[in-house]
A and B are shown apart, each in its own frame.
Chain A
Amino acid sequence: MAAAISAQQLAVTFPGRGWRPSVAALKPLDLELEPGHVLGVLGPNGSGKTTLLRVLAGLQAPTSGAVQVLGHAPAHRELVRRVSYQCEGPLPLATLSAPEYLAFVGAELGLPNAVSDERAAALLARLELEPARRRRIHTFSTGMCKRLALAAALLAEPEVLLLDEPTSGLDPFGTATVMEILRERADGGAAVLMASHHLLEVEESCDEVLVLHNGAVHARGDLEELLATDEHALVVRGLDDDAMRELGAAARDRGGEVVRVERPRDHLFALFRRLGRDRGDEERRR
């Protein structure tokens, strides 16, 4: 299968001006992303995540190296509809309402009005923006803006999705919905490249990760392989204190180590997800 995104020795250096030195925002990196895969790009602030996305979206020319998206140079006009880029930061045209904004995006992407409106309505409902359809964007919360930006990115049903912090500012329900949608799109054959600071999300949703640090690749590869270790851990539940003590002694006898014994509890994220599921069930029942 041909790679949706392919880059060889891709590098970006911002030239210095006056006394300011030049900045190597991306040091030469190779990248391949297959259709149907989700790649998480991780790294601290200033590590080059956004620069990488802007290059792939055709908004930043690379200083050196070769890059192709769906077989074309990133700035090729044909890719405007086939590749979506959700950039970080505020939305433009903030005096429009959400349906007006999506209609604008649809028009610029050359979608027929009826198709654009139908998809926009479905996306607004899915991303829970329907109740705010009459409000102007500048009255939206950060999370609502993020969801609208994602709706705009999904409007053309692109083959490649480039997302810069798609869940920052979202509540856990919104995050879960967004990740669910991205997973669906990937299962439908889209290639998704997502820059994020949220490690848990990336771990749950991405097939591969690329870790950047100071513009250079720090780690990369399949998530299962990257996270695998040679050690084994045994997780048990349902034993009483005596049984636990015996199990610990048996582990020590065999050269093992009891790292931690704790009362089992949920993570907050799982708790929110469960609450969300319960809420969904309740709404369906109604």
Chain B
Amino acid sequence: MSVWRGPFGVTWRQCMRASALPTAAAALLAAVGHAWDAPVLAGDGAAAAAATPWLTLPLFVAAVGCCLVAARTWPTFVRGQEGADAVRRIARGPLGGRGAVAAGALTAQLTLSLPLALALAGWFGAPPEAQRHVEAEGPATPIVDSVGAQLLFVVRPSLRAQSVWLRPRASLPQGPDPTQLSLTSGGVELTDAPISFEESRELVKVPFAPRELAALQVTQTAGHVPLLFGPGSVVVVGAAPLPRWGNAALLTLYAAATSVGTLILAAALGLGAGWSTVAAAVVAAQFVQWIGGIGPVDEALLDVLRGRWLL
């Protein structure tokens, strides 16, 4: 007996037959769309890649296609489909083959998505290496508003870091000078270069020699601009890079995760609903995740294009 002959293999082959062409067409459209209207931003090149919306399209089409094919192929997945009796009687396992069908559809989605994610992430300009980004956790009142004020941030989990990105909100200045900060960890100053802020949401990247970082102390050394370090305003960037292909491969797992939830929903609905209802639910469930930003995949796409580790 081989899994390729059973519902897993049958669904995988059917997904490939039915979804490969639409997915390839969507990928072509995405590549053309990006070439036609590639975003150009001043400064950081990685940010330009993050501004392109086109990577979503082919991965979305692959996800929707494979889920629809799974629900349509297996006669007992949706109520009232032809040949259900013939399959219901011989199907194995407590889920009557639905588990194997879902696994086949997810594997097909991975097969279709992986090369596209690898190729298009490079084509759209994602950085060749991804770094781990960890948001540092600050105190309850994360404000520095006078010289000598200090804030302690915890880096959890600790990591070997090579830079810190600071992006605080600025309040009304109380004097003419921009605020200057120093960064220390374990009593050691991370950089000699001045760290200065005079506008709100100004991003300052502070590079330093790679070192293990578990906590971070921010101290105001001069200036008159009060700064608020809210959530996400202190990000520690790791030193160990992950190649772009590894990050893109992780993205396809995130993409498959959207289909896991969708297929569970489809199977539950299919117990009582017909094909058209289930198909509409599948498309809607994928749409809100990919386009509506519900769930992790939307953020994961951005992270790949920004060069951030997905782990």
Give the one of A91, A93, A104 with max B CB within 10 A: A93
Instruction: Say if the beta carbon of A7 comes within 8 Å of chain B.
Output: no
Instruction: Mark contacts of B81-95 with chain A using CB atoms, 8 A cut-off: 1 yes-contact digit, 0 otherwise.
Output: 111111111111000
Q: Is the CB of A93 within 8 A of B83?
A: yes
Identify the stretch in B1-9, B149-157, B219-227, B303-311 within 8 Å (CB) of chain A at 4 or more residues: B1-9
Contact of A113 with B by CB under 8 A: yes
Among A57, A92, A95, A107, point to the contact of B5 (Cβ < 8 A): A107
* B97, chain A: closest CB distance, angstroms: 8
Task: Report the nearest B residue to A93, measured CB to CB.
Answer: B10
Complex contact B86–A87 (CB within 8 A): yes
A95–B6 CB distance below 8 A: no
Report how far A80 CA is from B91 CA in the complex, Å: 9
Report which of B1, B5, B82, B91 forms a contact with A90, defined as CB distance below 8 A: B82
CB neighbours of B73 from chain A (8 A)? 93, 95
User: Chain A 87-124 against B: per-residue CB contact (8 Å), 1 yes, 0 no?
Assistant: 10111111110001001111111111100100000000
Q: Out of B6, B75, B85, B87, which one reaches A107, CB within 8 Å? A: B6
Q: Do B1 and A95 touch across chains, with their CB atoms under 8 A apart?
A: no
**A66 CB within 8 Å of chain B:** no
* Distance in angstroms between the alpha carbons of A112 and B2 in the assembled complex: 9
Contact, CB under 8 Å: B1 / A111: yes
Q: Interface code B77-119, partner A: CB below 8 Å = 1, 0 otherwise? A: 0000111111111111000010000000000000000000000
| Chain B residues, CB < 8 A from A116 | 5
- Contacts A95-B14, A96-B10, A109-B90; is A54 near B2 (CB within 8 Å)? no
Chain B CB count within 10 A is highest, among A91, A111, A112, for: A91
- Contact with A112, one of B1, B6, B7, B91 (Cβ below 8 angstroms): B1
| A59 sits at the interface (CB 8 A) | yes
Q: Are B85 and A54 in contact, CB atoms less than 8 angstroms apart? A: yes
- A92, B75: Cβ atoms under 8 Å? yes
User: In the complex where A87-B86, A92-B84 touch, is A108 in contact with B75 (Cβ < 8 A)?
Assistant: no
Whether the pair B82, A113 counts as a contact (CB closer than 8 A) is no
In the bound complex, what is the Cα–Cα distance between A91 and B1 (angstroms)? 22
Does the CB pair B85–A59 fall under 8 Å?
yes
Residues of A within 8 A of B7 (CB): 104, 108
B211 interface residue, CB < 8 Å from A? no
Cβ contact within 8 Å between A91 and B83: yes
- Candidates A57, A89, A149; contact of B82 at CB < 8 Å: A89
B5 and A104 within 8 A (CB): yes
Complex CA distance for A91 and B85, rounded to whole angstroms = 10
Contacts of A92 in B (CB 8 A): 75, 81-84, 86-87
Taken residue by residue from 127 to 157, chain A's Cβ proximity to chain B (1 for < 8 Å, 0 otherwise) reads as: 0000000000000000000000100100000
User: Quick one: CB contact mask for A45-84 with B, threshold 8 Å, 1 for yes?
Assistant: 0000000001001110000000000000000000010000
A80-B83 in contact (CB<8A): no
Question: Is A59 a contact of B89 with CB atoms below 8 Å?
Answer: yes
Assembled-state Cα–Cα distance A149/B14 (Å): 21
Instruction: Determine the distance from Cα of A89 to Cα of B14 in the docked complex, in whole angstroms.
Output: 22
B205 within 8 A of A: no
Specify the chain B residue showing the minimal Cβ separation from A75: B89
Q: Report chain A residues within 8 Å CB of B87.
A: 92-93
- By beta carbon, the residue of chain B nearest A58 is B89
Residue of B nearest to A110 (CB): B1
- Residues from chain B with Cβ under 8 Å of A100 in the complex: 10
Q: What's the least CB distance linking A144 to chain B, in Å?
A: 15
Is the Cβ of B6 less than 8 Å from the Cβ of A89?
no
A59 to B81, alpha carbons, bound, how many Å?
15
Which chain B residues in 287-301 approach chain A with CB under 8 Å?
Answer: none
- Chain A residues with CB under 8 Å of B1's CB are 106-107, 110-113
Q: Which residues of chain B come closer than 8 Å to A57, judged between CB atoms?
A: 85, 89
Determine if A85 and B89 form an interchain contact, defined as CB atoms under 8 angstroms apart. yes
B84 cross-chain contacts in A, Cβ below 8 A? 92
Closest chain-A Cβ to B294's Cβ sits at a distance in Å of 33
- Give the distance to chain B from A172, nearest Cβ to Cβ, in Å: 26
- A36–B53 Cα gap in the complex (Å)? 68
B92 touches A108 (CB 8 A): yes
Q: Is the CB of B83 within 8 A of A89?
A: yes
Measured between alpha carbons, how far is A113 from B85 in the docked complex, in Å? 24
B→A interface (CB under 8 Å):
1-2, 5-7, 10, 14, 17, 73, 75, 81-92, 97
Known pairs A59-B88, A95-B73; list 8 more (Cβ under 8 Å): A89-B85, A90-B83, A93-B73, A93-B83, A100-B10, A104-B7, A107-B1, A112-B1
Interface residues of A (CB under 8 A from B): 54, 57-59, 80, 85, 87, 89-96, 100, 103-113, 116, 149, 152
Q: Which 7 A-B pairs have the closest CB atoms?
A: A92-B83, A107-B5, A92-B75, A108-B90, A90-B82, A107-B6, A87-B85
12 contacts between A and B (CB under 8 A): A57-B89, A85-B86, A90-B82, A92-B75, A92-B81, A92-B82, A92-B84, A93-B10, A93-B83, A106-B5, A108-B91, A116-B5
